[in-house]
Amino acid sequence: MSTKTITNPQVTSPPGQTRNIETFYYDNQIVRAFFIATAIWGMAGFLVGLIVALQMVIPTLTEGISFLSYGRLRPLHTNAAIFAFVGNGIFMGVYYSLPRLLKTPMWNRSFSWVHFWGWQLIILSALISLPLGYTTGKEYAELEWPIDILITLVWVVFGVNMFMTILKRRERHLYVAIWFYIATWVTVAVLHIVNSLEMPVSFMKSYSVYAGVQDALVQWWYGHNAVAFFLTTPYLGLMYYFIPKAAGRPVYSYRLSIIHFWALIFIYIWAGPHHLLYTSLPDWAQSLGMVFSLMLIAPSWGGMLNGLFTLRGAWDKVRNEPELKFLVVAVTAYGMATLEGPLLSIKSVNAITHFTDWTIGHVHVGTLGWNGFMTFGIFYWLVPRLWRTKLWSKPLANAHFWVGTLGIIFYCVPLYIAGWTQAMMWKDFDEGGFLVYKTFLETVVQILPMYWMRALGGTLYITGAVLMVINLIKTTRHGSFLGAERAEAFALAKVYKKEHNEYWHRWIERRPIQLLLLATVLILIGGIAEFVPTFMVESNVPKIAAVQPYSPLELQGRDIYIREGCYTCHSQMIRPFRSETERYGPYSKSGEFVYDHPFQWGSKRTGPDLAREGTLKLKKSNYWHFQHFMDPRTMEAQSIMPAYSWLLTNRLDVNSTPAKIRVMQRLGVPYAEGYDEVAIEDLTKQAKEIADDIRKELTQMKADPSMVVEDSEVIALIAYLQRLGVDATEGEISSSQ
Amino acid sequence: MTAIFLLIGFSLLLAGGFLFAFFWAVKDGQYEDDFTPAVRILYDKSERNDSTQQGNP
């Protein structure tokens, strides 16, 4: 075929210049790979979610199996849902839409495949390491340092591939979806690196370089922006591509989409502190987070309305096309979650909802509704196109839609009720000024029926997803997959503007992407070099003289606390409300946490707060804890805490102690010089004291004292729990006398 | 609370980067036309076919 030269009338090229039409091929194979990965990991993530939901009501479900315990599976569930399901969903959508929007194939096929297999390798290492208890103890950033490095590398591969594709584009205009992809890449890169700064102790064990309140702030700056820039902005990009495509009409207002994008990304980054309202974080930072969170309503709803209005005059299609039904509910869920989020960020609302199941309900409107249904909608639209056929069964897809929607309702509504009920019970005082519900457990037992309903909701949601998998497999069987899709477009004409004569200004203007990348790298290097040493030497958090570093045994116990994911159910943060100080003791101060690498404040109270567990009226005997870990229901008949029987027999890795002490010293924890050499001695001594104490009590009760193993992990964990709150509380009492 | 200044610094730099990108987009004429881009994405067929449909050579 001879190349015929055609002048494109729409593009203003210099007079006399003509442009050739070029033929190229879109790579559908990488899209298919990401699609399959999204579907498989999605199902896995949902299933683990259902298991942890059932563990809340049947605490003995996986009794005695350490790697299937709630505290280890819950991080697996969140990581699978966010990074495996939504992550692969993002890449599926980007690898399909970006080339088509830019009229060019992805820049480098090998990069695409390195990205794909690299990401699956990350997920696989999470799947293995999290149940085995390798965790940093920071929510949604639990993966240990070697995996963090792998994530960074794979992310860079993705970025290079994406930005090179943008540079090689045949369409000068960057459609709004692409802006969302760019913002996602840049911000996630910065967030991941800043929050994952940790000092390795050994392979698969590290301590966060930040401590206490600083660690909390960095973590939630990351945590909230992970929601913003991993679960939201990329999916908004997908919304702006796939809804117009599925509806067959342009987005309602392109101008609004541009305003939506810029307003959203400028506001989102400041909202993180709303996760730390009423904690020891400085008050002005809390207010900053709250104000920006409230401002977010405007751009979020702008985006939601833009998505829904795109369907104006096309609602008949919504009736007929299952994919549009999913997309409509997804956008609606986005609207609900982004109204609810700012409301939950108001301090007086947060005082009620924080630490309750309301938060869990809120995030699942986002993940099940927005991310899940958006992904399903895209699946139903994309798969028939990739396989060049029709969807196997529309009725089945409609069934999925209704079952899934019911699933979301049955999931979220009971949790709203549970959250509200429990918060009211926590705060209930009688006429004499005493707590009405004195034991925490009473408030848990009250909401167990809601937990059952939630498990039902999850089951419905998974049932719907199974219907979808069947439908999509059948669809692919009937079609024929097109690996390389032929396309044609004009080459991009070089446009030279002659406005300025300043050479550098023009040079900068013409290289926005290189500069954006360069700036990011510079920001990171500069920032790390400038700030990190200040953390290690001295932090200006007000210190409390009585607060001393953990003993070696307590430090080891703390690592077991982190490993078992205790923070997924227990907070260590008493807020300054009478209902909390009455129940747990004096409210938490930032100076108490200066040696906590990482912080363990938690974000949800399925069990009571533990910040003062070792002191005042909460203090229990060593024996009580021992028995409670062996079988919580022997101490509290209705408890829903799982048993941790393996801690009684697992031997503590005593030999790791000197290395841990040395790393802590490097992070600025004031252990005496050379303490690492005598640490094991101190550890053994303290362990013997605790073990003897438990044995004594067992003997008195005519039980067998030989089941207490001196160097078992449970002894270290008990030592840690008995230390919680002791320094600050007892220091405060002695200084006030 | 050094971490606050670290995070404000990073947040400002990110915001500054995005601001730079925004100015670039405006100066580049990315937003001169807020109608065509929304419609264009609906057509995946080659530009040759599109122009044929419009009656152009």
Contact A531 B38 (CB under 8 A): no
Q: Answer yes or no: is pLDDT of A381 > 80.
A: yes
Q: Are A374 and A235 in contact (CB under 8 A)?
A: yes
**Does B4 contact chain A (CB < 8 Å)?**
yes
DSSP A84: I
Among A14-23, A39-48, A281-290, A601-610, name the one with the lowest average pLDDT: A14-23
Mean pLDDT of A87-114: 97
Residue A78, exposed/middle/buried by CB under 10 A (0-12, 13-18, 19+)?
buried
Coil/strand/helix, residue B27: helix
Backbone angles phi, psi at A613, to 5 degrees: -65, -30
Q: Answer yes or no: is pLDDT of B7 > 90.
A: no
**Does B44 contact chain A (CB < 8 Å)?**
yes
Backbone angles phi, psi at A19, to 5 degrees: -125, 145
Residue A145: which pLDDT band, with cuts at 50, 70 and 90?
very high
Residue A152, exposed/middle/buried by CB under 10 A (0-12, 13-18, 19+)?
middle
Report the candidate in A220, A68, A75, A200 with the shortest Cα–Cα distance to residue A143.
A75
Write down the pLDDT at residue A9: 45
* Gap between the Cα atoms of A111 and B21, Å rounded: 25
* Gap between the Cα atoms of A622 and A642, Å rounded: 19
CA A48-A49-A52 angle, 5° bins: 85
Residue whose tokens read 């045949």: A170
Q: Are A20 and A5 in contact (CB under 8 A)?
A: yes
Q: What percent of chain A has pLDDT over 70?
A: 90
Q: How many CB atoms lie within 10 A of CB A17?
A: 9
Residue A464, exposed/middle/buried by CB under 10 A (0-12, 13-18, 19+)?
buried
Write down the pLDDT at residue B17: 84
Chain A residues in contact with B2 by the CB 8 A cut-off are: 214, 531, 534-535, 539-540
* Gap between the Cα atoms of A191 and A428, Å rounded: 40
Q: Are A278 and A220 in contact (CB under 8 A)?
A: no
The string over A652-674, giving b where at least 16 C-beta atoms fall within 10 Å of a residue's C-beta and e elsewhere, is: bbbeebbebbbbbbebbbebeee
Residue A120: which pLDDT band, with cuts at 50, 70 and 90?
very high
Higher pLDDT, A93 or A735: A93
Please write down the HEC assignment for all residues of A422-483.
HHHHHCCECCCCCECCCCHHHHHHHCHHHHHHHHHHHHHHHHHHHHHHHHHHHHHHHCCCCC
Mean pLDDT of A332-341: 96
Write down the pLDDT at residue A299: 95
Write down the pLDDT at residue A506: 55
ipTM passes above 0.85: no
CA distances from B4 to A91, A353, A415, A575 (A): 32, 25, 33, 21
Q: What percent of chain B has pLDDT over 70?
A: 75
Q: Are A267 and A292 in contact (CB under 8 A)?
A: yes
CA distances from A446 to A109, A425, A639 (A): 56, 9, 12
Chain A, 243 to 262: residues with Cβ < 8 Å from chain B are 244-245, 248-251, 254-255, 257-258, 262
Report the candidate in B9, B10, B2, B6 with the shortest Cα–Cα distance to residue A537.
B2
Beta bridge pairs of residue A26: A485
* Gap between the Cα atoms of A549 and A555, Å rounded: 9
Write down the pLDDT at residue A231: 96
Q: Are A287 and A355 in contact (CB under 8 A)?
A: no
**And the tokens for A375?**
């992904």
Write down the pLDDT at residue A616: 86
Among A171-185, A466-480, A538-552, A612-626, name the one with the lowest average pLDDT: A538-552
Write down the pLDDT at residue A288: 87
Rounded to the nearest angstrom, the minimum Cα separation between B3 and chain A is 5
Write down the pLDDT at residue A520: 66
Among A219-223, A261-265, A504-508, B25-29, name the one with the lowest average pLDDT: A504-508
Q: Are A27 and A99 in contact (CB under 8 A)?
A: yes
Contact B14 A534 (CB under 8 A): no
Write down the pLDDT at residue A512: 61
Coil/strand/helix, residue A5: strand
Write down the pLDDT at residue B21: 87
Q: Answer yes or no: is pLDDT of A731 > 80.
A: no
Residue B53: which pLDDT band, with cuts at 50, 70 and 90?
very low
Residue A495: which pLDDT band, with cuts at 50, 70 and 90?
low
Residue A533, exposed/middle/buried by CB under 10 A (0-12, 13-18, 19+)?
exposed
Write down the pLDDT at residue B20: 86
Cα A581 off chain centre by = 30
Q: In residues, how long is chain A? A: 737
Q: Answer yes or no: is pLDDT of A196 > 80.
A: yes
pLDDT in tens, A517-541: 665 665 566 555 545 554 544 555 6
Q: Answer yes or no: is pLDDT of A77 > 70.
A: yes
Among A78-87, A525-534, B18-27, name the one with the lowest average pLDDT: A525-534
The pTM of the full predicted model, rounded to 2 decimals, is 0.90
* Gap between the Cα atoms of A413 and A640, Å rounded: 22
Residue B49: which pLDDT band, with cuts at 50, 70 and 90?
very low
Contact A540 B1 (CB under 8 A): yes
Chain A, 199 to 218: residues with Cβ < 8 Å from chain B are 210, 213-215, 217-218
Write down the pLDDT at residue A298: 95
Chain A residues in contact with B14 by the CB 8 A cut-off are: 186-187, 190, 269, 523
Write down the pLDDT at residue A546: 87
Q: Tell me the average pLDDT of chain A.
A: 91
The string over A416-430, giving b where at least 16 C-beta atoms fall within 10 Å of a residue's C-beta and e elsewhere, is: bbbbbbbbebbbeee
Query: Cα torsion at A411, A415, A417, A423 (round to 10°)?
Result: 180
Q: Are A373 and A420 in contact (CB under 8 A)?
A: no
Residue whose tokens read 């036309």: B33
Chain B residues in contact with A491 by the CB 8 A cut-off are: none
Write down the pLDDT at residue A457: 97
pLDDT in tens, A672-719: 999 999 999 999 999 999 999 999 999 999 989 999 999 999 999 999
Write down the pLDDT at residue A524: 63
Q: Answer yes or no: is pLDDT of A344 > 70.
A: yes
State the sign of the Cα–Cα–Cα–Cα dihedral A148, A152, A153, A157. Answer: positive
Among A23-37, A368-382, B18-32, name the one with the lowest average pLDDT: B18-32
pLDDT in tens, A212-236: 888 999 999 999 988 889 999 999 9
Q: What percent of chain A has pLDDT over 90?
A: 80
Q: Name the most confidently modeled range: A298-302, A728-732, B47-51.
A: A298-302
* Gap between the Cα atoms of A98 and A122, Å rounded: 24
User: For residue A89, what are the contacts with CB-CB under 8 A and spacing of at least 6?
Assistant: A34, A38, A42, A235, A238, A371, A374, A375, A378
Nearest to A531 among B6, B36, B47 (CB): B6
Q: Answer yes or no: is pLDDT of A4 > 50.
A: no
Residue B15: which pLDDT band, with cuts at 50, 70 and 90?
confident
Nearest to A251 among B6, B15, B38 (CB): B38
The string over B2-31, giving b where at least 16 C-beta atoms fall within 10 Å of a residue's C-beta and e elsewhere, is: bbbebbeebbebbbebbeebbebbeebebb
Contact B18 A266 (CB under 8 A): yes
Residue whose tokens read 């938690």: A602
Cα A24 off chain centre by = 38
